[in-house]
Structure 1
């Protein structure tokens, strides 16, 4: 399966997502903020990044923009997971370069299907 990076400052959400994706057969790395997400992506190859928008140190939107701006990560599939559900928030997520956007709360089954869909579209 895929190597997935999860960045979320909420321990419960991070652990739930990691548990679900690990059970789906993915190899998961989980970190608690945007700076650690960038560091992890520089240190290891990942097939998909799942980013919370509101995180300390660096937001998920800023991480997304940074990844899109670098040639080596410009094509990395990115899925934003956030409690921000207003139309403007969703537009900002896609404008930053996200491939998909999931609002909290979400069902673990929906998360699995969206992860699979993004990976398929990316050919990974």
Structure 2
């Protein structure tokens, strides 16, 4: 397996997440109501969207071609989330299908990691 590296994607701040990744944006809106900070990374060919607000940190991994491996999930968890438990949510197919059909963009696999901030 190739060495996993996190590359930051240079998406300009004025470009909305909805413009670049409409399906992923819709899914994020369903699982994370407010966003105060977001950043996009890539690991191998997986898009990683890091979203933060005052209550939670959400990391969405999406790959249009192959299933996301546990090694990728573990790597992203280690790099982007604080030590501790993070809930791993599988996005239901009916939710994915609805947004993918709407935007004519399909992903082979989508994994969502959610961690609550305790201040």
User: What TM-score results when the alignment is normalised by the length of structure 1?
Assistant: 0.34
**Greater C-alpha radius of gyration:** 2
User: What TM-score results when the alignment is normalised by the length of structure 2?
Assistant: 0.35
Q: Which has the higher contact order (CA 8 A, sep 6+)?
A: 2
